């Protein structure tokens, strides 16, 4: 399955402002019409999950626009990327209640991690609120959290109710023993101090891919074992469980 995003986020200056490596570039112009022209080039028989052109507006207006967009692109899996309401920095999930049943029109309901809240506990809580809202309306759709693919954050968002995760952290950091560290540390931890920079980076990225697959297995075991946090390793078991319980206390 290939996920095709709108590219609107990357078009903005400062899109990588929270990353260790800053791109010193001016984005090219990228409009909704450019995106629509690109979508027309996609093969309709390919396994593609298409993300709508996201916008900051009322939740109702966003749903209206997304339904119109996907009605013209029925060949693809629909991923509705929900943005905070206009002039709001973070989501207010309670404001979505009146239109939550309409989310059944989409295959996947998506949000970005950064727009869920200012703190990790609030981000987790908003995922839980969204999952609860969808369940109450009997909208059996997965929640996709953009930018949340991380060895520590992913289990927490998964336990809160999300099912799909993506992110570029595995390209910028090394996943080692269940945490993300600077990839330059691989030379010491992996015994590769004789490797050149590019080769060391390639080894780090390959190792991170292996860790992503391992994380997927652990998430499945977490469900099978009725929420046993020990599946993520003894060193992280208490920290993850405590973080999740702290979040639950805020609901």
Query: Do 191 and 199 contact (CB within 8 A), yes or no?
Result: no
Between residues 120 and 170, the one the model is more confident about? 120
pLDDT at 205: 83
- Return the number of other C-beta atoms located less than 10 Å from residue 95's C-beta: 14
pLDDT at 79: 98
For residue 22, what pLDDT band results from cuts at 50, 70 and 90?
Answer: low
Residue 213 backbone phi and psi in degrees, to 5: -65, -40
Residue-wise pLDDT tens digits, 69-97: 999 999 999 999 999 999 899 999 999 99
Global confidence as pTM: 0.90
What percentage of the chain's residues is helix, strand, coil (to nearest 5)?
A: 50, 15, 40
* Across 16-20, 33-37, 42-46, 138-142, least confident range: 16-20
Helix (H) or strand (E) holding 219: helix 197-224
Q: Is 12 exposed, middle or buried (0-12, 13-18, 19+ CB in 10 A)?
A: exposed
The pair of three-digit structure tokens given for residue 227, joined into one six-digit string: 């929420």
User: What whole-number percentage of the chain has pLDDT above 70?
Assistant: 94
Between residues 224 and 21, the one the model is more confident about? 224
Mean pLDDT of 151-180: 90
**Mean pLDDT for the chain?**
90
* Across 80-89, 124-133, 166-175, least confident range: 166-175
Residue-wise pLDDT tens digits, 175-201: 877 888 887 777 787 777 888 888 888
Judged against a pLDDT cut of 60, whether residue 218 lies above it is answered with yes
pLDDT at 168: 84
């Amino acid at each position: 399955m290939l996920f095709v995003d709108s590219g609107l986020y990357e078009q903005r200056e400062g899109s990588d402002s929270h990353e260790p490596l800053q791109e010193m570039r001016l984005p090219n112009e990228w409009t909704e019409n450019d995106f629509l022209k690109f979508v027309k080039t996609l093969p309709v028989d390919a396994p593609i999950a298409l993300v709508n052109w996201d916008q900051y507006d009322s939740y109702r207006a966003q749903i209206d626009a997304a339904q119109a967009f996907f009605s013209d692109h029925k060949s693809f899996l629909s991923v509705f990327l929900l943005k905070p309401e206009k002039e709001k920095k973070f989501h207010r999930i309670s404001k979505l209640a009146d239109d939550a049943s309409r989310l059944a029109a989409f295959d996947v309901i998506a949000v970005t991690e950064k727009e869920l809240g200012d703190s990790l506990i609030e981000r987790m809580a908003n995922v839980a609120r969204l999952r609860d809202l969808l369940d109450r309306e009997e909208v059996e759709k997965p929640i996709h959290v953009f930018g949340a693919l991380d060895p520590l954050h992913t289990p927490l968002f998964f336990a809160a109710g999300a099912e799909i995760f993506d992110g570029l952290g595995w390209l910028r950091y090394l996943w080692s023993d269940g945490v993300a560290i600077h990839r330059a540390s691989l030379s010491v931890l992996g015994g590769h101090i004789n490797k050149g920079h590019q080769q060391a980076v390639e080894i780090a990225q390959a190792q991170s891919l292996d860790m992503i697959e391992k994380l997927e297995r652990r998430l499945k075991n977490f469900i099978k074992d009725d929420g046993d946090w020990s599946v993520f390793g003894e060193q992280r078991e208490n920290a993850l469980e405590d973080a999740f319980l702290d979040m639950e206390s805020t609901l």
